Amino acid sequence: MYDVTALGELLIDFTPTGHSDQGNILFETNPGGAPANVLVVLSRLNMKTAFIGKVGNDQFGHILKAVLQDQNIDTSNLLFSETVNTTLAFVHLDEKGDRSFSFYRNPGADILLDKNEINEETIKQSRIFHFGSLSLTNEPSATATITAVEFAKKHKVLISYDPNLRIPLWKSLDEAKQQIKKGFEYADIVKLSEEELEFLTGYRDVLKGTDILQEQYGTSLIFVTLGANGCFYRNKHVYGNKEGFKANVVDTTGAGDAFVGGALYKLLTMNKSLDLLNHADFEEMVTFANAIGALTTEGKGGIPSIPSREQLVDFLKKNNSYSFLNDY
């Protein structure tokens, strides 16, 4: 039995680390990919996790598999492409640590995942299935993703979705909107940013935008992450905002994924129906998830910056939020 199985991109982030003596930009290779980042958070919190995806049969692909195995993530459904290399992302950071991306993915191994390569049994044996929109950008991975989501629906597995907007990876914004919205047709839990909310609904106002999504798709649980301002949350009965934590921001890569990992962890430990979550439950869940997201911004890269259990405990104690560790 798995607590969470995730499907999607596993890649190398090239993160800037300064300049050489000759003034050239230096890049550090960091393992990443949104679904993998989520699983690392959960695995570090002692949840049982599995990854479904594809990398190249190259140096980077083997490094990535070793990283997941080192994090105790099941890699039995991580496949190697013999024809296409591992996807690479170059991260560009502004003075606040906010990032933008450029990709070497035309094609990349992750988008070659085929529907016939999906292990239905792994999904069936999971409490939550998590996916993002980046595996919907191209075929055959788009069909493979929907196949996996339909397996989750068939076996009554909770479905978590990250409508992750990376504009350079889409042929057009119209196609992006159409494909990203497809994920909402299946999702029980959605985490999106203010920018993604505005892109999908035309509204940056979190209450109005999430109201539209909930009315259109009946989504049980929606989180809108607001960067340093924390998070807006809602289910079908309650909604609210929770402020974020102050952090020494170095690189925001992976912060949203870390938030998702923290929120899913709390959901699993609470073991309550999504519709029955009350304000106190959300206060606990979102405080915890905000803390992991904030800590992740203090390091570089996706997976390398995800905090350990001990770092998280120290951070919550320091911020007078130790009560939110009551399930440790």
Interatomic CA distance for residues 190 and 163, integer angstroms: 8
The predicted pLDDT at position 100 comes to: 76
Q: pTM, whole model, 2 decimals?
A: 0.95
Q: How far is CA 171 from the centre of its chain?
A: 22
Q: Counting Cβ atoms within 10 Å, is residue 80 exposed (0-12), middle (13-18) or buried (19+)? A: middle
The predicted pLDDT at position 320 comes to: 76
In this predicted model, which residue has the larger pLDDT, 12 or 92? 12
Please, which pLDDT band fits residue 97 given cuts at 50, 70 and 90?
A: low
pLDDT tens per residue across span 201-215: 999 999 999 999 999
Q: What is the mean pLDDT of residues 266-276?
A: 95
The predicted pLDDT at position 217 comes to: 98
Q: Which range among 85-99, 255-269, 295-309 shows the weakest confidence by mean pLDDT?
A: 85-99
Whether the per-residue pLDDT at 238 is higher than 70: the answer is: yes
Whether the per-residue pLDDT at 252 is higher than 90: the answer is: no
Outline where DSSP puts E strands in the chain: 2-7, 11-19, 25-32, 49-56, 73-81, 88-93, 99-104, 126-132, 158-162, 189-193, 221-225, 231-234, 239-242
